[in-house]
A and B are shown apart, each in its own frame.
Chain A
Amino acid sequence: MKLIIATIKPFKLEEVREALTEIGVRGMMVTEIKGFGSQSGHTEIYRGAEYAVNFVPKIKLEIAVASEMADQVVETITNTAKTGKIGDGKIFVLDIQQAVRVRTGETNADAL
């Protein structure tokens, strides 16, 4: 089992969700986050005073899938979230040690 953590541009969320649903992803966790990477921040002006916006809004997706599906999920996110401009985001893939479905107590592959 793999946990895929992806940060994407907020306006790409709907497109990514649709694409993932199409390839059979049955659930995901979505969080509004702020952060910085190579896009870094930018400056804005309020009442004539310049200030730095150090953190840029992003969406964080967390998706747990069977190991054999992980590459396809990563590829789908990469293809749909990509704009080609700086700040498109990053994807991390982690191993999952254990998974439990709360309602039934099913574990691991059955719980996904």
Chain B
Amino acid sequence: MKTLTKLGLAAAIVAAPSLGLAQDGPVPGTNPSTDTVFILNSLLFLVGGFLVFFMACGFAMLEAGLVRSKNVTMQLMKNVALFGLASIFYYLIGYNLMYPLGTWSIDGVLSGVWGPGVLEAVGVTADAVDDYGYASTGSDFFFQLMFCATTASIVSGTLAERVKLWPFLIFTVILTEVIYPLQASWKWGGGFLDSMGFLDFAGSTVVHSVGGWAALMGALILGPRIGKYKDGKTIPMPGSNLALATLGTFILWLGWFGFNGGSQLAMGTVGDVADISRIFANTNAAAAGGAVAALLLTQFLFKKPDLTMVLNGALAGLVSITAEPLTPSLGLSTLIGAVGGVIVVFVVPLLDRLKIDDVVGAIPVHLVAGIWGTLAVVLSNSDASLMTQLTGILVIGAFVCTVSAAVWLVLRMTLGIRVDEEDEVNGLDMAELGMEAYPEFSLS
């Protein structure tokens, strides 16, 4: 999502053929009909959207694998419930809040379009689509919704094994209908961060660090799991199923091709398709860099490589390249991703020293690597300025932290956000859901 995404201004840049009859003004060196461009752009959103949707499965499997067996059902429940809620509330308010299409209540800050998203009519013809020069509204809505749901998925892993179900879901509603779309409008909706030249191609900051900040505030207000920190030492609580965690990581890795590739937002020219191809290759390179960096570093530091950190390292590599997956070379992409892997290996123990209990490592992966990725844009994109990138990171960080902290505090004072001690020790599966993920297993 380079700049203005949704239908409208971007369309003018993307599809030079005018809105009249096809073929009256092709882009130099290309020969697309307007129909073809419309179809290919919409197809990119749909295929990209499928892939980003699959990331919800990736998050669910990763988290199910990294929590203890007594909390697996709860983690799966949160992941499927948050996706459902994100879909509903992004439709009801979020979509139009994120894409005002130039109609602002407060210029560049707050959308002036309120209400649910509306699709084009059934069987719509070329002269009646919302934006014939670009893509179908349904494809755009579908694609953007998946990004919103991704943001919500990030939070659940950090707060695992102790947060109550309903307060968490209420937070998800606020995150997906207000927090995410509002700050995203500042960049991708054409708001003030976009005007000042802040660059975030697919969302190292707009998606990943937002989830990360919200998770950090939640972790601080919720507190660590019982027994996690004792006498100044960190007590490991190993995950229940590293095969699932690995499956989840590979699914996320796959989904990321849609996340970054789809964010090219256009596939109607040779240039766009070539760019999407670059993005796929660069995205993969960064994941590889992150995984290998974490592999080498954990071997060196801990004497044995740590699979969970290698998984986090691959994901941190992916987050790192998300702010600019197009302009770097393959080599630079690998290095940008590798720094993400290094971040994970150092930030996971650092958070433990600060007694911030992040069960799956979402804060190093999505927040810290997200910040790194946003800054790394300046390495390959001459349009980026370090100060502007920092400003974007800080503005969005301050906004998300303030609102998230307020919501978590209100929830803590009213409903309470944490299960009681006995329930936490017995596991959330039986306490909150009365259902175990592995009922035929017994602890030996």
Residues of chain A with a CB closer than 8 A to B349's CB: 47-49
- B325-344, CB < 8 A from A: none
In contact, B345 and A49 (Cβ under 8 angstroms) = no
In contact, A46 and B352 (Cβ under 8 angstroms) = no
Q: How many Å from the CB of A42 to the closest CB on chain B?
A: 12
Select from chain B the residue with minimum beta-carbon distance to A44.
B304
In contact, B235 and A45 (Cβ under 8 angstroms) = no
Measured in the bound complex, the distance between the Cα atoms of B303 and A95 in whole Å is 47
Q: How many Å from the CB of B340 to the closest CB on chain A?
A: 16
Q: How many Å from the CB of B235 to the closest CB on chain A?
A: 7
- A28-87, CB < 8 A from B: 44-49, 51
Extra inter-chain contacts (5) besides given A48-B302, A49-B234, A51-B235, CB under 8 Å? A46-B236, A47-B306, A48-B306, A49-B236, A49-B352
* Binary contact readout B228-248 vs A (1 if CB under 8 angstroms, 0 otherwise): 000001111010000000000
Question: Interface residues of A: mostly helix, strand, loop or mixed?
Answer: strand
In contact, A48 and B235 (Cβ under 8 angstroms) = no
In contact, B308 and A46 (Cβ under 8 angstroms) = yes
A45, A46, A48 pick with most chain B CB within 10 angstroms: A48
Residue ranges of B at the interface with A (Cβ–Cβ < 8 Å): 233-236, 238, 301-304, 306, 308-309, 345, 348-349, 352, 361
In contact, B304 and A45 (Cβ under 8 angstroms) = yes
Residues of chain A with a CB closer than 8 A to B302's CB: 45, 48
Measured in the bound complex, the distance between the Cα atoms of B304 and A51 in whole Å is 14
Measured in the bound complex, the distance between the Cα atoms of B233 and A48 in whole Å is 11
B302, B309, B345, B352 pick with most chain A CB within 10 angstroms: B302
Measured in the bound complex, the distance between the Cα atoms of B235 and A47 in whole Å is 10
In contact, A47 and B348 (Cβ under 8 angstroms) = yes
Select from chain B the residue with minimum beta-carbon distance to A34.
B444
In the complex, which of the residues B233, B303, B304, B361 contacts A47, with contact meaning CB atoms closer than 8 Å?
A: B361
Residue ranges of A at the interface with B (Cβ–Cβ < 8 Å): 44-49, 51
Residues of chain A with a CB closer than 8 A to B308's CB: 46-47
Residues of chain A with a CB closer than 8 A to B303's CB: 45
Select from chain A the residue with minimum beta-carbon distance to B309.
A47
25 A/B residue pairs, CB under 8 Å, sorted by A: A44-B304, A45-B302, A45-B303, A45-B304, A45-B306, A46-B236, A46-B306, A46-B308, A47-B236, A47-B309, A47-B348, A47-B349, A47-B361, A48-B301, A48-B302, A48-B306, A48-B309, A48-B348, A48-B349, A49-B233, A49-B234, A49-B235, A49-B236, A49-B349, A49-B352
Residues of chain B with a CB closer than 8 A to A48's CB: 234, 301-302, 306, 309, 345, 348-349, 352
Q: How many Å from the CB of A50 to the closest CB on chain B?
A: 8
Q: How many Å from the CB of B240 to the closest CB on chain A?
A: 13
Q: How many Å from the CB of A1 to the closest CB on chain B?
A: 31
Measured in the bound complex, the distance between the Cα atoms of B306 and A48 in whole Å is 8
Q: How many Å from the CB of B349 to the closest CB on chain A?
A: 3
Measured in the bound complex, the distance between the Cα atoms of B358 and A49 in whole Å is 13
Residues of chain A with a CB closer than 8 A to B304's CB: 44-45
Select from chain A the residue with minimum beta-carbon distance to B66.
A47
Residues of chain B with a CB closer than 8 A to A46's CB: 236, 238, 306, 308
Q: How many Å from the CB of A14 to the closest CB on chain B?
A: 22
Residues of chain B with a CB closer than 8 A to A49's CB: 233-236, 349, 352
- What are the 4 closest A-B residue pairs judged by CB atoms, nearest first? A48-B349, A46-B236, A49-B234, A45-B302
Residues of chain B with a CB closer than 8 A to A47's CB: 236, 306, 308-309, 348-349, 352, 361
Measured in the bound complex, the distance between the Cα atoms of B317 and A22 in whole Å is 58
Residues of chain A with a CB closer than 8 A to B309's CB: 47-48
Residues of chain A with a CB closer than 8 A to B348's CB: 47-48
Measured in the bound complex, the distance between the Cα atoms of B308 and A5 in whole Å is 39
Measured in the bound complex, the distance between the Cα atoms of B309 and A51 in whole Å is 16
Measured in the bound complex, the distance between the Cα atoms of B243 and A71 in whole Å is 47
Measured in the bound complex, the distance between the Cα atoms of B302 and A44 in whole Å is 9
Measured in the bound complex, the distance between the Cα atoms of B309 and A46 in whole Å is 9
Select from chain B the residue with minimum beta-carbon distance to A32.
B444
Measured in the bound complex, the distance between the Cα atoms of B361 and A51 in whole Å is 19
Q: How many Å from the CB of A70 to the closest CB on chain B?
A: 31
Q: How many Å from the CB of A56 to the closest CB on chain B?
A: 15
Select from chain A the residue with minimum beta-carbon distance to B349.
A48
Residues of chain B with a CB closer than 8 A to A44's CB: 304
Q: How many Å from the CB of A57 to the closest CB on chain B?
A: 11
Q: How many Å from the CB of A48 to the closest CB on chain B?
A: 3
Measured in the bound complex, the distance between the Cα atoms of B235 and A48 in whole Å is 10
Q: How many Å from the CB of A44 to the closest CB on chain B?
A: 8
Measured in the bound complex, the distance between the Cα atoms of B234 and A47 in whole Å is 10
Select from chain B the residue with minimum beta-carbon distance to A51.
B236
Q: How many Å from the CB of A55 to the closest CB on chain B?
A: 12
Measured in the bound complex, the distance between the Cα atoms of B345 and A46 in whole Å is 11
Measured in the bound complex, the distance between the Cα atoms of B235 and A45 in whole Å is 10
Residues of chain A with a CB closer than 8 A to B233's CB: 49
Residues of chain B with a CB closer than 8 A to A45's CB: 302-304, 306
Measured in the bound complex, the distance between the Cα atoms of B345 and A100 in whole Å is 60
